[in-house]
């Protein structure tokens, strides 16, 4: 019974989720009957009442499970590092930026003396100026470097310190060096990496490819000169937008170490942001729920916790998980370990609607509370449209679930009485099509008839002969024996669908009943016979009355070697296949205009000497000779 119920649910899901509203509305009467059959097989009402009561158990219930915990989505936070970033060298340098080898500085001086030039700091942290020599400015900010240069340049440019004839000197950054930063631990590209000099620890990790899923996002270490100078927790940035990590700028030779994550717990179900979150040592379920942005509006008070049983406590690896049923109060006493998962159950839906199928403009699901059948049908549309209304049957079928009956109740209500019929939750309303109104059955007559065209199939006993009469009869050029009839043929495509094709019906007679969408073609009189196959001159031969098939073969040049004479056959103009018959092989079926004679070639096995066939041919020849001799003797 459970399987039947699941079948119905899957069917309804298909109807409302995988096909369009127009397709639902255009369900045929046969398809509606199938829907009714499925719905009637339900054994009990599926109206679900929401249970809002809180479990009163005194302690969590242990339920041993072999199922693997469900994890929804990726691990939280790792995608933040999978972005491409761009740096622009024309932005002002941070005030705390320190100069180093490879940086280009621009020195500008104006006033009593004017010049502007650029220098690149060498590997020893120095620049060289004529008349002064080497000046070491490495590991200085721009402000402190500027003070050093003013002090040095004032030795040859006294106006830098002259209050009457003053000159001004400024220092700015030109081209920037890249920093060598080392990465260790759970990083995508460990080792030494060239990093933009304006980088902080976050942008540096981005440039190194990000953190792999075994790495922590909350205890990342910045090491300088062998000492851990900062530990970064990126969750404050991911969740609250706080860039605490930007307070420390990287310098050449820094080490960024990403330890292995210690505890990760997944949470899903009735939460706003389901994912797997990293928890620090002192953090609990409340922190986990906060990281998931709290519960959703459909969350219930029930919680399922799936825990991994430690190896030393397992009876078998087949039972490596255990499941606890709890709630928001009791989960506070449950320790969450690495790999555990928490599911916040959601409140069940409550059925409060009815479904409309079939010949309406907007088939689908509608509210049932305080609604009459007419009210729902009017919303579904079609009954107030005078043209569309003609395509709807007056009798409406309602399937109503009854927990006391095996099958659903089937109720029939006329539309004129629909206002007085009150609906119940879960009713299935079937609106059938009036097939008499929407009869578009037709057939086509073409070829040698006086009025070719398409005609309505308004009777179930129209024959081919009658159809030709309706089309004005045959013309003088028509061949009454050469009529081609094509019918619409439907068959299964092997996957449950229907495949439609148009096929010729062979050996069709004039009293054959015409089908919907059939085509009748009357071909013209062809005063020729077609010879095909193993003859010397295959093709069309002029028709002569009362000639047998061998005469036409002679006119086509006669048989070639290895002809399979016993398998010669005739295809009539209407598609019928016949074999030559007669007491003498020189006789046989009568040939008519438009016929085709097929002369086949022996295959390899038939070309071998056949004693029986040879003997039969000899006896036939002897019989013919004896008969001819007897006739001559009688004449004498």
pLDDT for the residue numbered 620: 67
Strand partners, 304: 325, 343
Q: What is the DSSP letter of 372?
A: B
What is the structure's pLDDT at 25? Answer: 52
Provide the pLDDT for residue 373: 93
Q: Encode pLDDT of 94-110 as tens digits.
A: 777 788 888 888 999 99
pLDDT at 210 over 70: yes
Where is average pLDDT lowest: 209-213, 279-283, 471-475, 571-575? Answer: 571-575
- Crossing angle (nearest 10°) for helices 2-17 and 29-40: 140
Average pLDDT value for residue range 442-455 = 92
| Residue 2 binned pLDDT confidence (cut-offs 50, 70, 90) | very low
Q: Is the pLDDT of residue 267 over 90?
A: yes
Q: Could you report the per-residue pLDDT of 403-426, keeping only the tens digit for each?
A: 777 778 899 999 999 999 999 888
Task: State yes or no: pLDDT of 273 exceeds 90.
Answer: yes
Phi and psi at 230, nearest 5°, equal -160, 145
Whose CA is closest to 432, among 357, 335, 522? 357
pLDDT for res 126: 92
Q: Which of 85-94, 231-240, 302-311, 535-544 has the lowest mean pLDDT?
A: 85-94
Please say whether the beta carbons of 625 and 632 come within 8 A: no
Pairing relationship of beta strands 442-447 and 453-456 according to DSSP bridges: antiparallel
What's the pLDDT tens digit per position in 564-575? 888 898 888 777
Instruction: State pTM to two decimals.
Output: 0.49
Average of pLDDT values for 330-343? 92
Give the pLDDT mean for 186-190.
94
Say which residue, 339 or 406, is predicted with more confidence.
339
Of the candidates 386, 387, 363, which has an alpha carbon nearest to the alpha carbon of residue 376? 363
Q: Are 127 and 137 in contact (CB under 8 A)?
A: yes
Distances (CA, A) of 436 to 376, 391, 457, 516, 581: 25, 8, 12, 15, 51
> Chain-centre distance of CA 622, in angstroms?
76
Q: What is the mean pLDDT of residues 464-479?
A: 90
Helix-strand-coil split of the chain, %, nearest 5: 25, 30, 45
Q: What is the mean pLDDT of residues 441-470?
A: 90
Question: Where residue 86 falls among pLDDT bands split at 50, 70, 90?
Answer: low
Cα–Cα distance for residue pair 284/553, rounded to 1 Å? 99
Higher pLDDT: 528 or 91? It is 528
How high is the mean pLDDT of the chain?
81
What mean pLDDT is predicted for residues 270-296? 94
- Higher pLDDT among residues 392 and 33, named by residue: 392
pLDDT digits (tens, 9 = 90+) for 626-635: 766 666 666 5
State the pLDDT at residue 235: 94
Q: Which is higher by pLDDT, 467 or 497?
A: 467
Range 23-28 average pLDDT: 59
pLDDT value at residue 16: 42
- pLDDT value for 59: 39
Q: What is the mean pLDDT of residues 610-624?
A: 62
More confident position, 563 or 604: 563
Tell me, what's the pLDDT at 460?
81
Distance CA 105, CA 50 (A): 73
pLDDT of res. 451: 93
Per-residue model confidence as pLDDT tens digits over 45-55: 443 333 333 33
Does the pLDDT at position 585 exceed 60? no
Query: Residue 77: what pLDDT?
Result: 92
Q: What domains sit in the chain, N to C, each tagged with a CATH number?
A: 2-47+351-433 (no CATH), 61-74+263-346 (3.10.560), 104-173 (3.30.1950.10), 178-258 (3.10.560.10), 442-524 (3.10.560.10), 528-618 (3.10.560.10)
Residue 72 banded pLDDT, cuts 50, 70, 90: very low
pLDDT at 169 over 70: yes
Q: What pLDDT, on the 0 to 100 scale, is given for residue 1? A: 46
Q: What pLDDT, on the 0 to 100 scale, is given for residue 213?
A: 92
């Amino acid at each position: 019974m459970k399987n039947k119920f699941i079948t119905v649910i899957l069917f309804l899901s298909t109807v409302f989720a995988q096909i369009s509203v127009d397709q639902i509305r255009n369900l045929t009467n046969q398809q509606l009957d199938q829907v009714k059959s499925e719905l009637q097989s339900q054994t009990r009402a599926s109206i679900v009442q929401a249970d809002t009561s809180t479990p009163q158990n005194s302690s969590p219930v242990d339920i041993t499970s072999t199922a693997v915990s469900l994890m929804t989505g990726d691990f939280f936070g790792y995608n933040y590092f999978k972005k491409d970033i761009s740096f622009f060298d024309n932005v002002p340098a941070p005030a705390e930026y320190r100069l180093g080898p490879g940086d280009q500085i621009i020195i500008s001086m104006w006033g009593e003396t004017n010049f502007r030039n650029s220098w690149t700091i060498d590997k020893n942290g120095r620049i060289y100026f004529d008349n002064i020599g080497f000046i070491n400015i490495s590991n200085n900010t721009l402000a402190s470097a500027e003070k050093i240069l003013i002090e040095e340049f004032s030795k040859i440019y006294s106006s830098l310190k002259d209050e009457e004839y003053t000159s001004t000197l400024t220092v700015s950054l030109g081209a920037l060096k890249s920093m060598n930063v080392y990465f260790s631990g759970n990083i995508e590209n460990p080792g030494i990496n060239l990093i933009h000099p304006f980088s902080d620890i976050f942008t540096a990790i981005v440039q190194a490819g990000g953190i792999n899923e075994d790495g922590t996002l909350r205890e990342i270490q910045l090491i300088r000169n062998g000492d851990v100078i900062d530990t970064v927790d990126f969750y404050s940035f991911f969740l609250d937008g706080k860039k605490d990590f930007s307070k420390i700028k990287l310098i050449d030779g820094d080490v960024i170490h990403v330890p292995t994550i210690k505890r990760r717990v997944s949470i899903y179900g009735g939460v706003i942001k389901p994912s797997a979150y990293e928890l620090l040592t002192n953090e609990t379920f409340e922190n986990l729920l906060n990281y998931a942005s709290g519960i959703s509006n459909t969350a219930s008070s029930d919680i399922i916790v799936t825990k991994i049983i430690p190896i030393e406590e397992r009876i078998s690896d087949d039972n490596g998980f255990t499941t606890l049923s709890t709630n928001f109060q009791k989960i506070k006493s449950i320790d969450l370990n690495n790999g555990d998962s928490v599911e916040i159950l959601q409140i069940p839906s409550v059925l409060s609607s009815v479904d409309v199928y079939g010949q309406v403009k907007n088939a689908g699901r509608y509210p049932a509370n305080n609604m009459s059948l007419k009210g729902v049908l009017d919303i579904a549309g079609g009954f107030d449209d005078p043209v569309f209304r003609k395509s709807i049957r007056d009798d409406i079928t309602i399937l109503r679930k009854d927990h006391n009956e095996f099958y659903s109740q089937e109720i029939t209500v006329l539309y004129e009485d629909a206002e007085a019929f009150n609906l119940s939750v879960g009713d299935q309303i079937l609106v059938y099509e009036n097939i008499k109104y929407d009869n578009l059955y037709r057939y086509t007559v073409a070829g040698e008839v006086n009025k070719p065209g398409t005609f309505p199939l308004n009777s179930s006993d129209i024959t081919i002969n009658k159809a030709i009469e309706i089309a004005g009869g045959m013309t003088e050029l028509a061949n009454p024996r050469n009529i081609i009839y094509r019918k619409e043929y439907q068959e299964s495509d092997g996957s449950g669908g229907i495949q439609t094709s148009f096929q010729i019906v062979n050996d069709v007679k004039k009293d054959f009943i015409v089908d919907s969408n059939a085509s009748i073609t009357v071909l013209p009189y062809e005063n020729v016979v077609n010879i095909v196959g193993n003859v010397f001159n295959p093709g069309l031969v002029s028709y002569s009355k009362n000639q047998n098939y061998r005469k036409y073969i002679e006119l086509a040049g006669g048989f070639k070697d290895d002809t399979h004479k016993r398998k010669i056959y005739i295809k009539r103009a209407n598609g019928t296949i016949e074999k030559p018959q007669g007491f003498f092989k020189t006789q046989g079926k009568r040939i008519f205009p438009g016929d085709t004679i097929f002369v086949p070639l022996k295959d390899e096995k038939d070309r071998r000497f056949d004693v029986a066939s040879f003997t039969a041919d000899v006896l036939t020849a002897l019989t013919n000779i004896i008969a001819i001799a007897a006739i001559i003797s009688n004449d004498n």
